[in-house]
Structure 1
């Protein structure tokens, strides 16, 4: 029996492009990606995939509050160490690949609809703590050149990363 996932809604989500003083962008390697790679598994060619902090928006939660919460949960970076520079003009959407449909988010969503915030990191690398929240989401992190972002992300999110990069490029 084939399920029709096109009727499912998109999960409301916020993403954070965190840039340092040198204009490099924070990316983390998801723990679950590393664990699947260690077992020889891959989802949609994710391989050595990295991503910017992102996560769901809780019901009734304001966008900026959700972004700061997700940023802290995934990186340990607190609100006093960032300046919000911009927000994407519109939401960006992506669909999950077939092998993840019905598995992620208890099968309630077909993908995500995302608003992104550009934030300037004013702290130093010692302020990043991937274990600030349990469970941790990232196994490793690094600063990456903004132009390499689409090459670092899983294939099904590349279009969104290109759109976010295009919108924020002049402000980075």
Structure 2
């Protein structure tokens, strides 16, 4: 019997949301478990079996930020899913070792609410301990290094929808 290699593992289905405010800045949250590293990311998470990708992205946005779907105008889906592989030191440690990385389905949307509508403790346990709005071009520098290429691709994918 041979043992499985990382390339034998599937990608975890994931949905993410790039949320713009009225000033065309992007929402990023600081992950609680990686706070020491200062890593920030856009809301994203796993897609449940049978769940619609856009519904999953909006659910994850709501769980991580407290922002309800009625406060979001969906502008566009990404034209294709984007993948990343976990670095060797994380393989077998995250997601119970079932996945080699994620296949992410991204959506771009506009936040129609106010700062009072954001509640990082809407989900128990919370995933973010802080948030901020940043210039879109700063996204790749704030994300954990192994996800940077995906963030560059997301940014390029949605650039034509983001007024300058």
- Is the pair's TM-score, using the shorter chain for normalization, greater than 0.5? yes
The CA deviation at 1:64 is 1.3
Structure 2 equivalent of residue 42 of structure 1: none
> How far apart in 1 are the matches of 2:159 and 2:39?
21
Structure 2 equivalent of residue 44 of structure 1: none
The CA deviation at 1:68 is 1.0
Tell me the TM-score normalized by structure 1.
0.91
> How far apart in 1 are the matches of 2:53 and 2:83?
16
2:29 corresponds to 1:4: no
The CA deviation at 1:65 is 1.0
The CA deviation at 1:6 is 1.2
5 Å-filtered alignment, 1:32-43, equals 32-34=33-35, 37=36
Q: Secondary structure at the match of 2:129?
A: strand
The CA deviation at 1:3 is 6.0
> How far apart in 2 are the matches of 1:29 and 1:99?
21
> How far apart in 2 are the matches of 1:120 and 1:78?
12
For residue 73 of structure 1, the aligned residue among 63, 66, 70 is: 63
**CA deviation digits over 1:57-100, x for unaligned, max 9?**
00000011101110000000000100000000001000001111
5 Å-filtered alignment, 1:22-171, equals 22-34=23-35, 37=36, 47-171=37-161
Structure 2 equivalent of residue 41 of structure 1: none
> How far apart in 2 are the matches of 1:94 and 1:24?
25
**CA deviation digits over 1:110-154, x for unaligned, max 9?**
000011000100001111000001010001000011000000000
* CA-based RMSD: 1.0
Q: Secondary structure at the match of 1:119?
A: strand
Q: Secondary structure at the match of 2:96?
A: helix
Tell me the TM-score normalized by structure 2.
0.95
> How far apart in 1 are the matches of 2:87 and 2:135?
27
Q: Secondary structure at the match of 1:32?
A: coil
